[in-house]
Structure 1
Amino acid sequence: MTPWFRFVGLMLLIGMVACRPSSEPSAGPPPLKVAFLYAGAGVDPAREVVAGELGARLQMHVEEQLGDEVAMEEALRSLVKEEHRLIFSMVSHAGAMVAMHHVAADAPSVHFEQLGGIKTMTNMRAFEARTYEGAYLAGLVAGSLSQSHVLGVRVQMVTPSLEAVRIVNAFALGAQAVEPKSVTRVAGFDQGEASLGLGVDMVLHSTESGRISLQRVGASGGEPLVVFAVDWAPYYRQTIQAALAEKWGAEPAWWGMHEETVVLASLSAAVPAPLRQRVEQARDALRQGQAGIWRGPLFGQDGKPVLRQGELASDKFLYGMNFYVKGVEGQPQGL
């Protein structure tokens, strides 16, 4: 064979090898490193749901028992050093927010998510649930079933918050929508039902997790009449997908029934069918953004109007709600 034919044959062989499809799959982008931080145990079904859905696209890490600002900041700086790119803090005390704000300022390429915070920056977002929506619907039940029309709220939150005030007010307004003469009394974190006084026959329990439950007085071991819970899976899902697509934004988020974050977890068979229907209809209106919990006229405890007839409260108004409405006894504590 002449050198010329040897050269042509070699070129053909090289071309065939170069064009042969590779048996090795092309490497995709590395998984997104996501961290979740908790004040106590990291039991979070919503996180598990999203982890199951997104699978290999994520690398999840959980930090637990972060009870103070120092522990929070140490954990955050360690996570940044380990190249986590999205960090959710489910720790709602003020120290957690301060710690995250400090660390976020030093890590501009990391996305930070703070539950219930008020501090934000270009890489740090505050998110919160409209738990007051569940309280309003629970108020409809309480106002309908109460015999004394004297109701109670136990705000079981260690850290005072404006959301606690909104929960109390929404519950009172729900009850007043059924029975205008309803009175609502408030007990703090370290107070029992007895502190609410005589005559109270329905008590709303509100916890740090966002769980809202209504029970008859003296039935603490029995089934609640209605329970609302917070499901963060929709929020986690959308936020993580935005980070994966490099479309994450720092606009504060306030999600409720419309986003399927505040959900009706249970409605007791002890609730009569017509009332069940009313609660479900009101829930559906909230889902569709059509309910007007905060529509005027609305009055403060002193009887002075805070919203005019037909006026609908803005989110700015609700964020600044540091007062109780007419029909609520007591004063907000620690604000």
Structure 2
Amino acid sequence: MKRRMLLGAAAALGLAAATGAYAADPTKVGFIYVGPVGDGGWTYEHNQGRLAVEEAFGDAVETVYQENVPEGADAERAMTQMALSGVDLIFTTSFGYMDPTIAVAEKFPNVKFEHATGYKRADNVSTYSARFYEGRAVQGTIAGHMTKSNKIGYIASFPIPEVIRGINSAYIHAKKVNPDVEMSVIWAYTWFDPAKEADAATALIEQGADVILQHTDSTAPQAAAEKAGGVITFGQASDMGEFAPLPRVSSIIDDWAPYYIARTKAVMDGTWESTDTWDGIGAGMVGIGEISDAVPAEVKAEALAMKDALADGSYHAFTGPLNKQDGSAWLAEGEVADDGTLAGMNFYVEGITGDIPQ
């Protein structure tokens, strides 16, 4: 089914690889990954996007990738080596790659760069991200209904706006359906480290949490919850469906394939321009994994209704009245958060305990 969908998307884009309309030399597209392609989460889905590019364009493209590239100086070296290898387009797929991407792009003005989840652009650097917080709203709704202890645990990676938005969105929507909900956050300071993620999940479970959400990339929290029993989880970035129907009851799925296909085509036909893209459920960049039968039918229906409302724009995940953690007013009744505030979010909403690390 997925293959047929990808081929259909390619046809809709008017791809000309099969007819020889593109140059004889293949367009070379590179990918820099922060984790392994087999992480089952974030990097896995980016690599699925890479494979979709290959399937869409066939011999008209050549893709290369480097996995497990740490953020920082190592990333700059990896990008430089990739640029020197003759690539036309490089996707750098982690927030911490932002400054290295800008630095390398300045040295290679004829190479196009696409940086995921960042905010710094240049003539040859675009940015792109997904509104993951929309998926967190759906997860929070399910979590609030299903917790029996009224304690939800959240494994956070790094204290950046993307992660803080997700924590806030999950909490807001859990609290809407269950006023007694409490949320505890453990900062793992990693995107992918199964041992640390398992330890964080175990610690939260020992504190009484019977729902675990995560913004880290491995399936270790799912395994820890399965071992503990009586705990539900949600897949992160990828479906993680091997743990369904329990403990994984649904998931956020990142679908990068259409974007990667479109941006590769833009390089191939000479229409590529520096842009900023931030899409969500409505555009298909954020998917909601199948809600398992472990979730009561009425809860599933409520979650899917929220998904639909987020998709068609009739509901926004950050709609007032909402206060900041210190009790100060943020959004009035019916007021919706603007993208600028969301993009730079550095505060918890009222009701979440603990401090955001600096």
Alpha-carbon distance in 2 for matches of 1:208, 1:101: 25
The amino acid of 2:216's aligned partner reads T
Give the letter for the 2:72 counterpart.
E
Q: How does 1:153-302 map to 2 (within 5 A)?
A: 153-155=154-156, 157=157, 159-189=158-188, 191-195=200-204, 198-208=207-217, 218-219=229-230, 222-302=246-326
TM-score for the superposition, normalised by structure 1: 0.82
The equivalent of 1:20 in structure 2 is none
Give secondary structure in 2 for the equivalent of 1:53: helix
Q: Deviations over 1:91-129 (max 9, x none)?
A: 432xx2222111111222211011222321111122222
Q: What are the within-5 Å matches in structure 2 for residues 104-119 of structure 1?
A: 104-119=105-120
1:21 matched to which residue of 2?
A: none
Q: CA RMSD in A?
A: 2.7
Structure 2 match to 1:60: 63
How far off is 1:52 after superposition?
0.5
SS of alignment partner, residue 270 of structure 1: coil
For 1:192 and 1:271, the matched residues in 2 are separated by 21
Structure 1 residues 3-82: aligned runs within 5 Å:
28-29=22-23, 30-42=25-37, 43=44, 44-82=47-85
Give the direction of change, closer, same or farther, for the CA distance of 1:175–1:199 in structure 2 (3 Å limit): same
Q: Which residue of 2 aligns with 1:134?
A: 135
Aligned to 2:337: 313
Q: What secondary structure sits across from 2:99 in the alignment?
A: helix
Structure 2 residue aligned with 1:149: 150
Aligned to 1:7: none
- Structure 1 Cα separation of the partners of residues 206 and 49 of structure 2: 38
**Cα distance change on mapping 1:199 and 1:223 into 2, 3 Å:** closer
Which has the larger Rg?
1
Cα drift, residue 192 of structure 1: 4.1
State the percentage of identical aligned residues: 30
Q: Please state how far the C-alpha of 1:182 moved relative to its aligned partner.
A: 2.3
Partners of 2:112 and 2:247 in 1: CA distance: 41
Cα deviation, residue 165, structure 1: 0.6
Q: Which letter maps to 2:89?
A: L
Question: What letter corresponds to residue 203 of structure 2 in structure 1?
Answer: A
Residue in structure 2 matched with residue 4 of structure 1 by the alignment: none
2 CA distance for matches of 1:195 and 1:143?
16
User: Equivalent residue for 2:356?
Assistant: 332
Give the drift of 1:195. Answer: 4.8
C-alpha distance 68-286 of structure 1, shift in aligned 2 (>3 A): closer
Offset of 1:26 from its aligned partner? 7.9
Question: Relative contact order, CA 8 A, sep 6+: which one is greater?
Answer: 2
**Pairwise CA distance, 1:236:** 0.8
Q: CA deviation at 1:71?
A: 2.9
C-alpha separation between the residues in 1 aligned to 2:333 and 2:308? 24
Find the aligned partners of 1:207 and 1:266 in 2 and give their Cα distance.
Answer: 20
> 1:331–1:197: structure 2 CA closer, same or farther, 3 Å change rule?
farther
Query: Which amino acid in structure 1 is aligned with residue 182 of structure 2?
Result: V
CA drift at 1:75: 2.5
Unaligned runs of 5+ in 1: 1-24
- Give per-residue Cα distances to partners, 1:168-212, cap 9 Å, x unaligned: 100011112212342222112154443577443222122248999
The answer to whether the 8 A contact 2:210-2:230 is kept is: no
CA deviation after TM superposition for structure 1 residue 241, in Å:
1.9
Query: More deviation in 74-83 or 248-257?
Result: 74-83
Cα distance in 2 for partners of 1:92, 1:282 equals 28
Structure 2 length-normalised TM: 0.78
